[in-house]
Every structure is written in structure tokens, then in C-alpha cells.
């Protein structure tokens, strides 16, 4: 029986290489721009209902959050004609005030929050960013740094009338060393463009994510984005070697070292990685890139239980070892949404869980043999029930779409409540099961997917429209559950506007206070991305 099933696996591989997945759409560079969901915008006051409609009940010191509401507009200056004249002088043709153009910059990717900025600044150089911030600092004007605006926690758009400082025109590669693999580029380079640039030179970016067609490397660093390759290449905290950052008062902090090792004092760049635009504007990044693997295989597998999925992960780590580059999962609810809204057919038989395994190595025979031995073992032990393997680029992309496009499919299902949770890996799906039971049909869909290899669950819950009653049932349940397992309430997306008041579920008060001290030291007037990341009382 196991042999038959395995033969089917092999057969599927062969069939895939003969007939392309014509029904799959392959990713394009502008895909993200064309899939913006169409749902009504929320004003900040309405947004309040969405994200802050209830107070948390303090149970311990950690839980004593300040008022979970959007704070009043802080006393920043309002932009004047003189201010505009200054910006137009330093950024001729790149100081945008046309409300139609500004619309896309005022609304987040999820169309869940919107700001009311009247000015978009598009600098091209670090010197221009420095001039902008020096001026804003002296005038007490608030600034919202923005990259590709694909952030999922409401951090990328203004809350009120903060000026939007976009890195869209800061998109040059500054240098690439083909011996060390160190790339230095401006912050506004689109991740996918960098990947293409590197692939031509036999290298790849150490990170990859579904938003690659729009997100900027500066935005990735500012959110410390994880993504699909973290299992293999680690976090940006390890691969980013240097940063150039413009501080709130316009000073340029040049920490753009391109060294693998550098223990001279505090590692200041780490402060800016994951700081979500609240401590400085990242203007350039130096990053260590891995060699492009010669052979890539992707397996899409079906599994009956999450327990078996975890056992498959264990087996996979042991048997694939150094060639394993990703281990991702989605549940059958995700598959239903992919089928329904994106018309992506299931490439294998229906299963409660699906796994995407990627191997990346240098020897075709060695890698394929390893993968097939692993698959044979997984099938013989009945850990997986069905599967298909892709070896060609277009088919690999098609299989990856099944995982990467879940976020997009969800936007068609209704209003989405998103949770990005880090947990001990053996507990990650229990939260989905418990949440389903807890909500007892109150939600339209409750789906689980994510980065198993990193212990990172994406729990997404939809309803046909924004639903405060549903929200009240989800929160603080989800945060208490997570804190109960010593998990993190934000594994990789950051806190932004939406999650900042829940920080105490994952960080002790003392640590949050220290964060406030650092913010006050680097940005004493609080002009950089106000109302984000830190809780209300520290903003």
C-alpha cells in the first residue's frame, strides 16, 4: 500500500514535469498591487471599535495595559504653506499633495486602517531624508516612514496627519561583492527586484515572503520580517550586517559595515531592526546573501492530523538535514479559501492539513534521492497520505502559491482578524482548535497556517463585516492563551498601531519601560511614527 502510494507520488512528479499547471497563476511582480481587497475604509474612530473596543482585565503586572484606544492626536504642528515651500524646494516634483495620489499611501494593504496625511515626500537620497527630518524635528512635525505599505499591523500608514516619508524612490543597489555575497542597497529596493538582481549573479536574498513584489528591504528590516526562508537562513538580525539610519533630528548614523564580524561596542543596528520606523528612518541596508542553490525541490503533502504533521517535521529535519529550506503548513480551511476565491485547485487529494517542504542544495542526484527516501519513509509510516513534488521553476512557484496566497484569499472572505503568534511548535495548532471551539460558529472562517519550522502560527478569523462582538470573543482570549504558553503575540509582523497595547502579554513592564527610554533618547519629540509599537502611555 505504501509502495503504491509512493509510486503515485513519483508519478505525480513525472506528470507535473510534462504538463504545466495551467490553472495556477504564476506570481508577477505587481501581483500585490492588483489584489487589494475592496472593503470600506475605517476612520480612526471606527478603527477604534475594530481594535480597541474592550479593556483588558489586568491579572498580573504584565497584563496591566493602558487604555486600549487610539490616543488623541498629539500636539504636533500642523503643516503650513511655508513648510510645503521648504519641502518643494528640497524635493522638487517629489512633494505630493494630490489627494488622489495620497490615497494609496494613507490606507494600509488590508484596507483596515487609514490616515489623513496631506503630504507625501519622496526623497531619493540619504541627504534628502536628513534634511526632511532635521526640518520636521525643528518644526515638531510628525512623520510616518513608509516602504511598500504591505505591513499587516497598521504601522505603515499615518493615524492622523503625519507626513508620509516614502522610500519608493530610494531604489538603487549601491554595491554587491560577488566573493562575500554582501549586498548594499538603498532602503526602497523592492525585495523581488533584489532577488532578481542577485539571481543573475548566482546569489539569493536570505528572506522571501508573499509580499515580495511590493515590500521594500527597508520595510523588511524595520519590521524584522521573517517569511519563508527563516528556517534555513535565520532572522534578519543575523543576516543584516549594517544599516544607515537617519535619526529623528536629521543626524545620519552610518553603521553600514559590510563585515561578518564586528564586536566594537554595542551593536546599534539591532535597535533599528524591528523598530517599525519609531527610532529612525533606515536609508540603506547591507545584507549577507546566500549562494543560489543549484537544485530546488518543493513537495506539497497531505496529512491527517497535526500530530502527524509534527512527526513529519521531525523526520524531515533528521532525514533532509542541511538541504531543508522551508517547512510550512496550511489547514483545510485555507485550502477551501484558495479554491473558492482564487480558483487554485488542490494539487493533491483533500486532507485536513497540507505541508510545503522545500529543499535547496547543490547536487541533483543527492538531493532528489534524499527527498525521495524521506517521502518513502513518511508514507511507509503513514505520516503523510498524499503528495506531489515539483522540480521545475514554474511548478515550484505554483505549489508555493498554495501557501503564499492564503493571505490574499482571506481578504475575499470578509473582515479578517489577524493573529501572528509564536509558540512552542508542538502547541501551535491547539490554539486554532481551541479558538474554533471558543467561538462556536460566531466567525465565518477560522484558519491556521504558517511557519511550522519557526513555531509561528498565523491564526486568521473572518466575519462578513467588522464585528465587535466577535472581536470581544477573540480578544483577550487569544492573548491570554498565548501568554499562558510563554508565546509571543507578534512573531514577525510587529505591533504597529493594532497590537501595541498588548505588548505586556509578551514583555515585562521593565522591558517596555526601557524601550520607552530608548525612544525618548533617540526621538525626544516623538515625531517618528507616533502612536505605533509602544503602548499608549509611552507614545
- Contact footprint for ligand 2HG (CB under 6 A): 152, 210, 407, 418, 420, 450, 458, 460
Find the DSSP H helices in 260-305. Answer: 269-272
Q: Which of residues 455-494 bind ligand FAD (CB under 6 A)?
A: 492-493
Binding residue for ligand FAD (CB under 6 A) from 42, 70, 194, 209?
Answer: 209
Q: Which does 222 bind (CB under 5 to 8 A by kind): ligand 2HG, ligand FAD, none?
A: ligand FAD
Query: According to the binding rule CB under 6 A, does residue 149 interact with ligand FAD?
Result: yes
With CA atoms as reference, report the closest residue to 443 among 466, 477, 412. 466
Residue of this chain nearest to ligand FAD (CB atom): 219
Smallest gap from Cβ 428 to ligand 2HG, in A, equals: 13
Question: Does residue 181 touch ligand FAD according to CB under 6 A?
Answer: no
**287 lies in the site for ligand FAD, by CB under 6 A:** no
Nearest to 539 by CA among 147, 65, 152, 54: 65
- Shortest Cβ 478–ligand 2HG spacing (Å): 13
Distances (CA, A) of 160 to 52, 144, 164, 361, 434: 17, 10, 11, 49, 37
Distance of alpha carbon 325 from alpha carbon 75, whole angstroms? 48
Q: Which is nearer to ligand FAD, 13 or 150 (CB)?
A: 150
Residue 418 binding target from ligand 2HG, ligand FAD, none, CB below 5 to 8 Å by type: ligand 2HG
Q: Which is nearer to ligand 2HG, 32 or 371 (CB)?
A: 32
Taking the least distance from each CB to ligand FAD, the nearer of 145 and 535 is 145
Give the Cα-Cα-Cα angle 423, 414, 35 (nearest 5 degrees). 90
Q: How far apart are CA 76 and CA 531, in angstroms?
A: 12
| Closer residue to ligand 2HG in complex, CB, 184/462 | 462
Instruction: Say which entry of ligand FAD, ligand 2HG, none residue 460 contacts (CB below 5 to 8 A, set by partner kind).
Output: ligand 2HG
Grid coordinates representing 397 are 512557484
Q: Does residue number 132 form part of the binding site for ligand FAD (CB under 6 A)?
A: no
Q: How far is the CB of 422 from ligand 2HG (least distance, A)?
A: 12
> With contact defined as beta carbons under 8 Å apart, do 108 and 149 qualify?
yes
Q: Are 356 and 403 in contact (CB under 8 A)?
A: yes
**Mapping DSSP to helix (H, G, I), strand (E, B) and coil, where does residue 98 land?**
coil
User: How many CA atoms lie within 13 Å of 210's alpha carbon, on the beta-carbon side?
Assistant: 22
DSSP string over 14-61: HHHHHS--TTSPPP-TTHHHHT--------HHHHHHHHHSS-----SG
Is 226 exposed, middle or buried, given 0-12, 13-18 or 19+ CB atoms closer than 10 A? buried
Is 146 one of the binding residues for ligand FAD (CB under 6 A)?
yes
What sections of 166-305 are H helices per DSSP?
A: 191-199, 217-223, 230-233, 236-239, 269-272
Helix H or strand E encompassing 324:
strand 324-331
Locate cell 494593504: which residue? Answer: 109
Q: 389 in helix, strand or coil? A: strand
**Closest residue to ligand 2HG using C-beta atoms:** 407
Question: What is the nearest approach in angstroms of ligand FAD to the Cβ of residue 38?
Answer: 15
Does 361 engage in binding with ligand FAD (CB under 6 A)?
A: no
277 contacts ligand FAD (rule: CB under 6 A): yes
Residue 463 interface partner, choices ligand 2HG, ligand FAD, none, CB cut-off 5-8 Å depending on type: none
Q: Which is nearer to ligand 2HG, 247 or 326 (CB)?
A: 326
What's the grid cell of residue 198?
A: 542577485
276 binds ligand FAD (CB under 6 A): yes
**Shortest spacing between CB 509 and ligand FAD, in angstroms:** 23
The answer to the question of residue 213 lying near ligand FAD (CB under 6 A) is no
The reply on whether position 387 binds ligand FAD by CB under 6 A is no
Which range, of 172-180, 214-222, 294-302, 375-383, touches ligand FAD by CB under 6 A? Answer: 214-222
**Under the rule (CB under 6 A), what is the footprint of ligand FAD?**
109, 144-152, 155-156, 167, 187, 209-211, 215-216, 218-220, 222-223, 225-227, 276-277, 281-282, 407, 492-493, 496, 529, 532
Amino acid at each position: 500500500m505504501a509502495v503504491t502510494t509512493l509510486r503515485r507520488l513519483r508519478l505525480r512528479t513525472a506528470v507535473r514535469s510534462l504538463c504545466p499547471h495551467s490553472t495556477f497563476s504564476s506570481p508577477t511582480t505587481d501581483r500585490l498591487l492588483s489584489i487589494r481587497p475592496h472593503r470600506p475604509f475605517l476612520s480612526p474612530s471606527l478603527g477604534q471599535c475594530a481594535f480597541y473596543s474592550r479593556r483588558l482585565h489586568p491579572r498580573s503586572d504584565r497584563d496591566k495595559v493602558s487604555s486600549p484606544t487610539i490616543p488623541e492626536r498629539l500636539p504636533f504642528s500642523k503643516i503650513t504653506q511655508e513648510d510645503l515651500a521648504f519641502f518643494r524646494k528640497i524635493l522638487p516634483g517629489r512633494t505630493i499633495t494630490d489627494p488622489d495620489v495620497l490615497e494609496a499611501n494613507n490606507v494600509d494593504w488590508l484596507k483596515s486602517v487609514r490616515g489623513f496625511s496631506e503630504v507625501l515626500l519622496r526623497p531619493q537620497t540619504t541627504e534628502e531624508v536628513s534634511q526632511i527630518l532635521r526640518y520636521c524635528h525643528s518644526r515638531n512635525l510628525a512623520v510616518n516612514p513608509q516602504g511598500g505599505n504591505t505591513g499587516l499591523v497598521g504601522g505603515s500608514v499615518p493615524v492622523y496627519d503625519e507626513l508620509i516619508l516614502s522610500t519608493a524612490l530610494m531604489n538603487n543597489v549601491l554595491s554587491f561583492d560577488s566573493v562575500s555575497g554582501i549586498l548594499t542597497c538603498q532602503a526602497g529596493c523592492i525585495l523581488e527586484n533584489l532577488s532578481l538582481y542577485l539571481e543573475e549573479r548566482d546569489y539569493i536574498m536570505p528572506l522571501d515572503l508573499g509580499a515580495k513584489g511590493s515590500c521594500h528591504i527597508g520595510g523588511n528590516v524595520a519590521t524584522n520580517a521573517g517569511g519563508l526562508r527563516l528556517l534555513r537562513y535565520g532572522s534578519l538580525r543575523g543576516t543584516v550586517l549594517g544599516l544607515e539610519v537617519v535619526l529623528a533630528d536629521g543626524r545620519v548614523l552610518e553603521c553600514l559595515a559590510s563585515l561578518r564580524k564586528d564586536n566594537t561596542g554595542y551593536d546599534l543596528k539591532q535597535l533599528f531592526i524591528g523598530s517599525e520606523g519609531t527610532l529612525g528612518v533606515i536609508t540603506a541596508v547591507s545584507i549577507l546573501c546566500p549562494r543560489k542553490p543549484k537544485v530546488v525541490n518543493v513537495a506539497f503533502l497531505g496529512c491527517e492530523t497535526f500530530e502527524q504533521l509534527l512527526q513529519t517535521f521531525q523526520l524531515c529535519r533528521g532525514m533532509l538535514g542541511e538541504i531543508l529550506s522551508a517547512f510550512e503548513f496550511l489547514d483545510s480551511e485555507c485550502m477551501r479559501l484558495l479554491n473558492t476565491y482564487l480558483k487554485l485547485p488542490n494539487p493533491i487529494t483533500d486532507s485536513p492539513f497540507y505541508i510545503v517542504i522545500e529543499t535547496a542544495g547543490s547536487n541533483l542526484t543527492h538531493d532528489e534521492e534524499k527527498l525521495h527516501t524521506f517521502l518513502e519513509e513518511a508514507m511507509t509510516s503513514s505520516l503523510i497520505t498524499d503528495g506531489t513534488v515539483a522540480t521545475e521553476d514554474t511548478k515550484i512557484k505554483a505549489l508555493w502559491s498554495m501557501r503564499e496566497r492564503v493571505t490574499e484569499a482571506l481578504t475575499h472572505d470578509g473582515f479578517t482578524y489577524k493573529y501572528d503568534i509564536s509558540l512552542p511548535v508542538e502547541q501551535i495548532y491547539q490554539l486554532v482548535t481551541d479558538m474554533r471551539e471558543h467561538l462556536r460558529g460566531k466567525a465565518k472562517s477560522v484558519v491556521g497556517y504558517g511557519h511550522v519550522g519557526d513555531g509561528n502560527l498565523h491564526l486568521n478569523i473572518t466575519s462578513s463585516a467588522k464585528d465587535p462582538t466577535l472581536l470581544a470573543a477573540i480578544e483577550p482570549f487569544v492573548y491570554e492563551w498565548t501568554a499562558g504558553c510563554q508565546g509571543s503575540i507578534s512573531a514577525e509582523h510587529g505591533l504597529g498601531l493594532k497590537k501595541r497595547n498588548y505588548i505586556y502579554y509578551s514583555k515585562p513592564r521593565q522591558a517596555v519601560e526601557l524601550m520607552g527610554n530608548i525612544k525618548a533618547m533617540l526621538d525626544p519629540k516623538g515625531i517618528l511614527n507616533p502612536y505605533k509599537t509602544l503602548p499608549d502611555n509611552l507614545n
